[in-house]
Structure 1
Amino acid sequence: MTDTHLDNGSFTPPGTLRFERLLPGPIEKVWAFLVEPDLRAQWLAAGKMDLKPGGEAQLIFRNGDLTGPDDRPPAKYAKEGNSEIPTKAEIVEAIPPRLLRFKWEEGNDDWSDVTFSLEEEGDRVRLVLIHTDLAKVDSQAGVLAGWHAHLNLLRSVLTGEAELPFWATLERLEAEYSTRYGLPI
């Protein structure tokens, strides 16, 4: 699958990124892949979500499970690449099947804000992802690349298309976003 202009994320300093994807519907199916742990684990991270304001959300990343055996994590991610990485989040707003917003723990008492909005367009669904308050400049290219690669996987899961190798795609995208926006890797 080739990336299209729609696939590329945009970045607005000091720390806001935005992605859009047109995905196959119905909207309820896309919503399920955002909130149901077993479905979300196929493209992003497992973990339960209590879909009420203030509710706990777990994001348990197992990125090594999202790719084939020949796709190895780049050196930067080698230590945690095939490990389970739990992160905490807190639901800010959930309006099924249209809006999911949560605060995501970035470490060192820093939290960022992630919003998924879904809108029906015929038999497809426009997903818009906005991630704000990314305080760590040294991780912004990686966050852009990570969302891009994970959203590619979501589309692959929903369409049944062949998945891109996760780690190779992540490494390529991180370099591209670093160059495009002058961000450190």
Structure 2
Amino acid sequence: MDQVFKALADETRRRLLDRLHEHNGQTLGELCERIDMTRQSVTQHLALLEAANLVSTVRRGREKLHYLNPVPLHEMQERWIDKFERPRLSALGAVKRRAEEAMTDKPTFVYVTYIAGTPEKVWDALTDADLTAAYWGHSNVSDWRPGSRWEHVRTDGSGIADVVGTVTESDRPTRLVTTWAAPEDEADAARHSRVTFDIQPHGDIVRLTVTHEDLADEDERSDAASGWAAVLSNLKSLLETGSPLPEEPWSVPNR
């Protein structure tokens, strides 16, 4: 948290976050156009923001796109604001939603979190049917080979899959890419979205980046933002404490 406060203390770094808030997913060149500073200086500021986990990056060919990561701000909100000023949380939520907006040719939603564990444990938590049932409320079922089908199956014994798709990349324990669709849209590729899980060791912990792209509209983007935040918070709790959160985070009403 000290790195977050140090990063936010500088006016230039706050301006860079403002630029990403206005238009998420910018290259270094795009950010430099609106900051009266050399590329080298902007690069140094971005490195500090990335070290504080306030900015995450995704490679798109030769481009490196920068995204505002709301996770540390959310942690600050929970620690110092949630207890005292709940009525103002709706305003913070609006900032977060704007930060997650992206152009249609760029990742729609990027979420970064750090988990105490190993890449293998995080991979298993994303792909093991019993583990996903424990923290997600659904079982992820597949052999997880490229080209295989996967299903997101309810745990109520009905056998109903609410999401289906195809495994397009599978490189245990570092990268998993899948398509997502409602069962009724499975035959229509134009209605599929795409989710990428990048799992990287970060010292003794793991950096998990979830990129959800090709979403249909603003409502679906909003659902993805709130859904991933809840699911990954529950996953983190399971791996770090042995138990999911005491109350399913997606069932907690907004106050």
Q: TM-score, normalised by structure 2?
A: 0.52
- Quick check: which one's helix share is greater? 2
Of 155, 168, 184, the match for 1:92: 168
Runs of 4+ in 1 over 6 A off after TM superposition: 6-9
Q: How does 1:5-154 map to 2 (within 5 A)?
A: 5=73, 10-14=100-104, 16-44=108-136, 45-62=138-155, 85-106=161-182, 108=185, 109=188, 110-154=191-235
3-state SS in 2 of match to 1:41:
helix
1:6, 1:21 within 8 Å by CA — same for their partners in 2? no
Q: Distance in 2 between matches of 1:167 and 1:51?
A: 26
Contact 2:235 2:244 in 1 (8 A): no
Letter in structure 2 aligned against 1:24: A
1:84 Cα shift? 5.7
> Looking at CA atoms only, which structure, 1 or 2, has the larger radius of gyration?
2
Pick closer, same or farther for the CA change 1:98–1:104 going to 2, 3 Å.
same
Distance 1:153 1:162, change over 3 A: closer
3-state SS of 1:18 partner: strand
Cα distance, 1:162–1:99 mapped onto 2, change above 3 Å: closer
SS in 2 for 1:22: strand
The amino acid that maps onto 1:59 is H
State whether residues 115 and 131 of structure 1, in contact with CA within 8 Å, keep that contact through their aligned partners in structure 2: yes
Tell me the distance in 2 between the aligned counterparts of 1:157 and 1:11.
29
Amino acid at match of 2:72: T
Larger RCO of the pair (alpha carbons < 8 Å, separation 6+): 1
Change (3 A) 1:154 1:91: same
Residue 59 of structure 1 deviates from its aligned partner by 0.8
Q: Residue deviations 1:17-48, cap 9 Å, x none?
A: 00001001111111110111111222223032
SS of residue matched to 1:5: helix
Contact kept, 8 Å, 1:6 with 1:20, in 2: the verdict is: no
Q: Match of 1:139, SS?
A: helix
Unaligned runs of 5+ in 2: 1-70, 76-95
**1:78-109, Cα deviation, whole Å (9 max, x unpaired):** xxxxx965321100000000001000114543
CA distance in 2, matches of 1:57, 1:95: 16
Report sequence identity in percent.
Answer: 26
C-alpha RMSD over aligned residues: 2.7
SS in 1 for 2:140: coil
Unaligned runs of 5+ in 1: 65-82, 176-185
State the partner residue of 1:78.
none
